[in-house]
């Protein structure tokens, strides 16, 4: 009797498993019914006649998922006959129709073997069919359960905005593999792009055939909802080689305001950390050529990721629409290679930073002084406790940091929203990552600038103390800065920091500097002289100091305008102290 009962149980389980198993691609026309869906936590999946037979989907039958109450992660899932294999076809695409607003999160999750793998994408239209895709490149063939969680993060109410039609679930390659240069006239189509987190790319006829770009065809990326890093990427057939030509240039047109950040990111299939650099637009409603200098980057990168207006969520409007063309490598570095001191004022220098661990940096106008450029660093919500920013591209400074046994200090001017947080500075050999030295200083000011002195004889981490490294013949040509080291972005919250004036030795700049309204120095950088102009009060005295604190210029103009002679000065950074009846202001000077 027990044997008969066990046999019936096994037959029952087998029949249930068989009826629930499916195979991709799925078009819902045959072989799959409502019984194939496994609903959970407030989601209900059914197979129905297509109530929206239009646009890109005129098929007779589709699936419908309605979310009504339950949990914010509710949905339904399908079980595949075999595990999903992403070695050739890395993308799962699904046609989707919903009345939910643009930017609704659509989560796809794989389960069935070990830790789950999940990806998000976002709707870009409403009340229209569109094809959404989720890129599972690199995911092992461990999973056979496809979990659909639409409008993830919200509890459904059973209405039309909680109703989702789906069709044509299939695996496709991750774009068409192409090579640079890319001019969009041939060899690349809309299907070559892999969109993510609110960015949608396409190849279109050039709607702005004017100025420096009269070509017939261009690329377009529209950002609409999603995440602040939404964009699209191109998979290149060959790895990028920056040995001789280190710069990637690209023509860009947008109605977004000048100063919009365009982030270019390189990813590698070899497991190397990504490399990302920023460029900033300088015009609006006109074509311009932007450049990113990847000097020193290894040759294992073959994914080109484009993130326009990085740091903001797009709204689908003209200011979230970007045209681009003529992506190519060109020779040489952009202007001079970055070197100490790093002032962010010299327009001939490419001040690209290399972020890692969840940091996001960009060159911006000093929010406390519009005459000064500084580097902004945001420790994002996903930042690791060791998230940091390398000062430069990672290839190292043009010359080694001139440490000696008796000269072991560097200074950095920083702005932090909080006092009493650790800021770590690390120096290393770009050609040998075992040769490093790190030291740490606590901030003392909240919401204001201060100059911090980093003494590398007070080592906190690394393979050896600085003095030992020097004795061993080590050299250091790279520096990285870590804000609130030891705290994750999730734990500490998203915080934004600024830094400026990375200098070898002790800085003579004023830590808590007042700003005198209407006081300006120009041009800066200068070749022969600086002009000092005060709109509201007379200039009583002008002092100029070199980086060692030696006074090299003094004048008492007692007028609204004055000149500082720079013809006899060596190229480099100096500090000035401008005194008026309203007080004294310290301003950085750069001599070309």
Q: Does residue 387 sit in the same domain as residue 269?
A: no
Lowest mean pLDDT of 75-89, 113-127, 399-413, 500-514, name the range: 500-514
Residue 509 lies in a domain: no
Rg (alpha carbons) of the chain, rounded to whole number: 29
Residue 102 in any domain: the answer is yes
Q: How many domains in the chain?
A: 4
**pLDDT, tens only, 32-90:** 999 999 999 999 999 999 999 998 889 999 999 999 999 999 999 999 888 999 887 88
Average per-residue pLDDT for the chain? 85
Same domain, 64 and 166: yes
What pLDDT is stored for residue 341 in this prediction? 83
Q: 429 lies in a domain?
A: yes
Give tens-digit pLDDT for 160-211.
999 999 999 998 776 555 788 899 988 788 878 888 888 999 999 999 999 8
Is the same domain home to 500 and 533? no
Question: Mapped to the 3 state alphabet, what secondary structure does 188-240 carry?
Answer: CCHHHEEEECCEEEEEEECCCCECCECCCEEEEEEEEECCCCCEEEEEECCCC
25 and 163 share one domain = yes
Query: Tens of pLDDT along 392-417?
Result: 766 678 788 988 888 889 999 999 99
* The pLDDT of residue 340: 81
Q: Is 168 found in the same domain as 213?
A: no
Q: Is the pLDDT of residue 510 over 50?
A: no
- Distance (Å, whole) CA 427 – CA 436: 6
Tell me, what CATH number does 555's domain have? Answer: 2.60.40.10
Same domain, 146 and 197: no
Q: Is 514 a member of any domain? A: no
* Residue 4: predicted pLDDT: 41
Residue 346 forms part of a structural domain: no
C-alpha span between 196 and 122 (Å, rounded) = 8
Provide the CATH number for the domain around residue 490. 2.60.120.430
Please say which residue of 474, 504, 534 terminates a domain. Answer: 504
Domain that holds residue 538: 519-591
pTM: 0.46
Domain end marker among 436, 469, 504:
504
Q: Is the pLDDT of residue 371 over 80?
A: no
pLDDT band of residue 463 (cuts 50, 70, 90) is low
Assess whether 165 and 198 both reside in one domain.
no
C-alpha 284/C-alpha 344 separation (Å) is 23
Residue 500 and residue 544 share a domain:
no
Q: Are residues 218 and 127 in the same domain?
A: no
Closest of 260, 498, 502 to residue 377, by C-alpha: 498
| Range of lowest pLDDT (200-204, 257-261, 265-269) | 265-269
Among 216, 190, 223, which Cα is nearest to 311's? 223
Pairing of strands 21-22, 75-80: parallel
Beta strands in 13-162 (DSSP E): 21-22, 38-40, 43-49, 61-69, 75-80, 91-98, 105-111, 117-122, 130-135, 145-150, 156-157
Per-residue pLDDT of 428-455, as tens digits, reads 887 777 788 999 999 999 998 888 999 9
Contacts of range 13-22, beta carbons closer than 8 Å, 24 or more positions apart: 17/79, 20/78, 20/79, 21/79, 21/80, 21/81, 22/78, 22/79, 22/80, 22/81
Q: How confident is the model at residue 20 (pLDDT cuts 50, 70, 90)?
A: low
Element (H, E) at 335: none
pLDDT of residue 31: 83
Segments of 286-442 assigned E as strands: 288-293, 301-308, 314-315, 321-330, 354-356, 359-365, 373-379, 388-390, 409-416, 422-429, 432-442
User: Would you say residue 390 has pLDDT above 80?
Assistant: yes
**277 and 307 together in one domain:** yes
50-54, 278-282, 287-291: the lowest-pLDDT one: 278-282
Q: For the purposes of burial, counting CB atoms within 10 Å of the CB of 548, is it exposed (0-12), middle (13-18) or buried (19 or more)?
A: exposed
- Give the separation between CA 475 and CA 424, rounded to whole angstroms: 19
pLDDT at 322: 97
* Residue 334 confidence (pLDDT): 44
pLDDT of 10 > 80? The answer is: no
Say yes or no to pLDDT of 12 above 50. no
Element spanning 253, H or E: strand 247-254
Strands 247-254 and 422-429: unpaired
Q: Is the pLDDT of residue 426 over 50?
A: yes
Judge if 437 and 488 occupy the same domain: yes
Residue 105 in any domain: the answer is yes
Cα gap 525→344, rounded to integer Å: 10
Same-domain check for residues 26 and 130: yes
Residue 338 lies in a domain: no
């Amino acid at each position: 009797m027990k044997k008969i009962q066990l046999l019936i149980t096994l037959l029952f389980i087998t029949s249930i498993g068989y009826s629930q198993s499916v195979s991709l691609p799925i078009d819902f026309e045959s072989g799959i019914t409502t019984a194939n869906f496994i609903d959970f936590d407030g989601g209900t999946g059914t197979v129905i006649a297509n109530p929206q037979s239009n646009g890109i989907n005129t098929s007779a039958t589709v699936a419908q998922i309605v979310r009504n109450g339950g949990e914010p992660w509710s949905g339904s899932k399908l079980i595949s006959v075999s595990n999903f294999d992403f070695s050739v076809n890395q993308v799962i695409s699904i046609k989707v129709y919903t009345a939910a607003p643009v930017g609704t999160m659509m989560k796809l999750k794989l389960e069935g073997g070990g830790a789950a793998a999940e990806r998000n994408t976002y709707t870009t239209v409403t009340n229209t069919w569109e094809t959404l895709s989720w890129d599972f490149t690199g995911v092992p063939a461990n999973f056979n359960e496809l979990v659909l969680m639409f409008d993830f993060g919200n509890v459904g109410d059973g209405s039309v905005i909680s109703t989702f039609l789906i069709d044509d679930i299939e695996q496709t390659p991750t774009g068409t593999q192409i090579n640079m240069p890319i001019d969009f006239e041939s060899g690349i189509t809309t299907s070559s792009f892999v969109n993510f987190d609110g960015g949608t790319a396409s190849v279109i006829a050039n709607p702005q055939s004017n100025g420096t770009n009269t070509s017939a065809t261009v690329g377009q990326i529209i950002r609409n909802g999603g995440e602040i890093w939404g964009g699209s990427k191109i998979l290149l057939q060959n790895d990028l080689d920056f040995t001789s030509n280190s710069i990637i240039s690209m023509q860009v047109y947008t109605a977004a305001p000048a100063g919009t950040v365009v982030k270019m990111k390189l990813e590698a299939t070899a497991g190397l950390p990504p490399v990302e650099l920023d460029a900033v637009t300088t015009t609006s409603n006109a074509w311009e050529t932007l450049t990113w200098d990847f000097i020193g980057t290894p040759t294992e990168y073959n994914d080109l990721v484009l993130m326009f207006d990085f740091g903001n969520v797009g709204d689908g409007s003209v200011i979230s629409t970007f045209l681009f063309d003529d992506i190519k490598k060109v020779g040489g570095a952009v202007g001079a290679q970055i070197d100490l001191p790093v002032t962010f004022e010299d327009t001939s220098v490419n001040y690209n930073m290399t972020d890692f661990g969840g940091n996001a940096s960009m060159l911006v106008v000093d929010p406390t002084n519009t005459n000064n450029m500084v580097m902004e660093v945001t420790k994002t919500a996903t930042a690791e406790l060791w998230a940091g920013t390398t000062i430069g591209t990672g290839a190292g400074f043009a010359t080694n940091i001139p440490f000696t046994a008796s000269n072991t200090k560097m200074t950095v001017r920083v702005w932090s929203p909080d006092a009493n947080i650790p800021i770590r500075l690390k120096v290393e050999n770009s050609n040998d990552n075992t040769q490093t030295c790190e030291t740490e200083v606590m901030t003392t000011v909240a919401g204001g600038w201060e100059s911090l002195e980093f003494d590398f004889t007070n080592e906190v981490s690394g393979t050896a103390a600085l003095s030992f490294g020097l004795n061993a013949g080590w050299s250091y040509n790279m520096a990285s800065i870590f804000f609130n080291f030891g705290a994750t972005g999730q734990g500490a919250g998203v915080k934004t920091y600024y830094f400026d004036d990375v200098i070898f030795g002790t800085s003579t700049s004023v830590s808590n500097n007042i700003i005198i309204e209407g006081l300006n120095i120009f041009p800066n950088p200068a070749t022969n002289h600086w002009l000092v102009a005060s709109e509201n009060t007379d200039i009583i005295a002008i002092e100029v100091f070199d980086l060692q604190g030696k006074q090299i210029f003094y004048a008492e103009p007692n007028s609204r305008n004055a000149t500082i002679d720079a013809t006899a000065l060596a190229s480099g950074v100096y500090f000035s102290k401008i005194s008026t009846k309203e007080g004294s202001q310290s301003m950085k000077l750069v001599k070309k």
